[in-house]
Amino acid sequence: DAGVIQSPRHEVTEMGQEVTLRCKPISGHNSLFWYRQTMMRGLELLIYFNNNVPIDDSGMPEDRFSAKMPNASFSTLKIQPSEPRDSAVYFCASSLGPGTSGGAGNEQFFGPGTRLTVL
Amino acid sequence: GESVGLHLPTLSVQEGDNSIINCAYSNSASDYFIWYKQESGKGPQFIIDIRSNMDKRQGQRVTVLLNKTVKHLSLQIAATQPGDSAVYFCAENMAWQNTDKLIFGTGTRLQVFP
């Protein structure tokens, strides 16, 4: 299995531009998570989906951020317009989904991340 | 001005020694716990997990201990190697709520010196 795939691996853009990050979860996984990691705030959950439906988006910073999951094998995180303070590493993770006995299945597998720099 | 980042606790150990990384979790209702390892430039990687009906679980060179009374989790690494240098995160989950959302700790940096 290729694991969670994210693209691009690095993105450098100018303030005000639209940024789209992409994620392909592990096949058969029903939950997908978007995280942001910075030195200031550590690892933050932005949003997560189960069976392509957003379950919890309370971590999305503001309206400039949006996420979609049109099908089980693809998700996007979009920032429009981007700002320098959005610079971070964005991780996508997937898991089998809740309901497996005792938590097993809740283990999340992380992608390699997208390092975003907004100038 | 100078930005202030998270202050990650750092554990420095000599190669070959045992390491113990500690974590205080937040929610007494959590019933599933995971330790992750994050190497520089990579995403967090699963190391070992434990359910709340256990107080100890062993893997290859790693042992996780759970003390629910004081909401404490520890990761023990035997015969620490340079490749163990990374940031280690504990994460908690309330599987009984039928959710797979994880709450991550702030992390501990492990430095292994020769």
The pLDDT, as a whole number, for residue B98 is 81
Q: What percent of chain B has pLDDT over 70?
A: 95
Task: Point out the residue among A40, A48, A106 whose CB comes nearest to the CB of B6.
Answer: A40
By Cβ distance, the residue of A4, A45, A102 closest to B32 is: A102
Most confident range (mean pLDDT) of A36-40, B71-75, B91-95 is B71-75
> How would you write A39-92 as a 3-class SS string?
CCCEEEEEEEEECCEEEECCCCCCCCEEEEEEECCEEEEEECCCCHHHCEEEEE
pLDDT of residue A106: 78
Summarised one tens digit per residue, pLDDT across range A38-80 is: 988 889 999 999 999 999 999 998 899 999 999 999 999 999 9
Mean per-residue pLDDT for B74-95? 95
Contact B8, B109 (CB under 8 A): yes
Tens-digit pLDDT profile for residues A28-49: 999 999 999 998 888 999 999 9
Closest Cβ opposite residue B5 in set A39, A43, A105: A39
What is d(CA A8, CA A26) in angstroms, rounded to the nearest whole number?
A: 17
C-alpha A40 chain-centroid distance: 18
Which of residues 58 through 87 in chain B touch A, CB cutoff 8 A? Answer: none
Closest listed residue to residue B48, CA positions, set B29, B61, B31: B61
Contacts of B31 in chain A (CB under 8 A): 102-103
pLDDT: which is higher, A104 or B32 = B32
Residue B2 banded pLDDT, cuts 50, 70, 90: very low
